[in-house]
């Protein structure tokens, strides 16, 4: 019988991997849209993939940072950039803003759930844990947009983003309160957040805007 105890005790690790790869891909697509070179693509992808988790680790005083502790992800990021650049050139693919939104939605769900669970494991109050999950999920995307000279989409496209992350974080808190295993809490909250974001994109949900 398969031993799942390690997975249950380390429920955030799998989703941290998923979130890292998803945000790296979103950064890669955005960098390709801006026609950056290989170094620029690697930098933008790295900021998107590692920015939110790094800020979370700083605020929670976690050392070493998650990507320093698992340096294999830096090598994987570099290989993904090189491979994707060659693939897009060979296939003559044109990256679009719409294409970037799908891996971004996956990263949003994975990092929201994983970041909230890590904060709960560190013993912080529920509201702080949820905020940590939101920061983990959105800060990398904010850095990605800033360095390519865009107003961060999390603040400007009016499609629910941070609000969805905030809601997903409370799902993690609620499931922990009910006694769910860490992996179950993170998995359910990640899927919930991803589905909510995809619905917002497909159905055109909008947040209220300031009217002059």
For 84, residues 6+ apart whose C-beta sits below 8 A from its C-beta are 25, 28, 32, 41
Cα-based angle 108, 20, 117 (whole degrees, multiple of 5): 60
Mean pLDDT by 10 residues, the chain (212 residues): 41 74 83 81 85 88 78 77 70 64 86 91 92 91 86 78 92 92 89 92 78 61
Which pLDDT tens digit goes with each residue over 73-108?
778 777 877 777 777 666 655 666 666 778 888 889
pLDDT of residue 8: 43
Phi-psi region of 179 (alpha: psi -120 to 50; beta: other; left: phi over 0): left
The whole-angstrom separation of Cα 111 and Cα 84 is 23
pLDDT of residue 91: 60
In total, the chain counts a number of residues equal to: 212
Cα R_g (the chain), whole angstroms = 17
Predicted TM-score of the model (pTM): 0.82
């Amino acid at each position: 019988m398969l031993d799942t105890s390690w997975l249950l005790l380390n429920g955030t690790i799998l989703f941290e991997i998923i979130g890292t790869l998803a945000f790296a891909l979103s950064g890669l697509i955005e960098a390709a849209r801006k026609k950056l070179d290989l170094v620029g693509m690697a930098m933008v992808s790295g900021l998107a993939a590692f920015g939110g988790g790094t800020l979370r680790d700083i605020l929670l005083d976690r050392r070493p940072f998650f990507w320093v502790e698992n340096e294999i992800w830096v090598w994987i990021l570099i290989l993904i950039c090189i491979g994707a650049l060659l693939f897009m050139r060979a296939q003559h693919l044109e990256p679009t803003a719409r294409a970037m939104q799908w891996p971004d939605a996956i990263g949003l769900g994975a990092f929201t759930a994983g970041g909230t669970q890590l904060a709960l494991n560190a013993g912080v109050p529920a509201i702080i844990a949820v905020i940590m999950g939101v920061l983990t999920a959105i800060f990398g995307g904010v850095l990605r947009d800033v360095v390519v000279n865009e107003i961060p989409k999390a603040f400007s496209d009016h499609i629910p983003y941070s609000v969805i992350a905030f809601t997903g974080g409370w799902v993690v808190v609620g499931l922990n309160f009910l006694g769910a295993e860490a992996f179950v809490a993170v998995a359910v909250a990640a899927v919930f957040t991803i589905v909510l974001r995809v619905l917002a994109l497909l159905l055109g949900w909008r947040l209220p805007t300031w009217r002059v």
